[in-house]
Amino acid sequence: MNQAPSFYNLYCTNIHCDRSIHLHGVQTRAIFDIDNLTATHICTGCHQPLFSPMDIEIEQMITEAGARIPHKTYYNTGN
């Protein structure tokens, strides 16, 4: 029996992008698997990395703990 794949949503957080969650709330669905969770997905509008709510929560937890994950680059929406 084949199980249907699970999906999760990715969002652009660049406030200047027309595909941004801030402007139009565009979401990109990705299959929930190890390859997608560890890959960097790029916005088709501004070519910046897309984020999932999990990415944002993990970044906040790491920041509060004073640690860093060296392999993940996060886009600063203030620029």
Angle at 23 between CA 17 and CA 27, to 5 degrees: 80
As a whole number of angstroms, the distance between CA 69 and CA 72 comes to 6
Query: Measuring CA to CA, how many Å separate 51 from each of 20, 54, 67, 71?
Result: 11, 8, 19, 15
Residue 70, pLDDT score: 59
Q: Where are the domains of the chain?
A: 7-65
Residue 68, pLDDT score: 61
Residue 44, pLDDT score: 92
| pTM, rounded to two decimals | 0.66
Each residue's pLDDT expressed in tens, for the chain with a length of 79 residues? 578 889 999 999 899 998 998 887 788 899 998 888 888 999 999 999 998 888 878 888 888 887 665 554 544 444 4
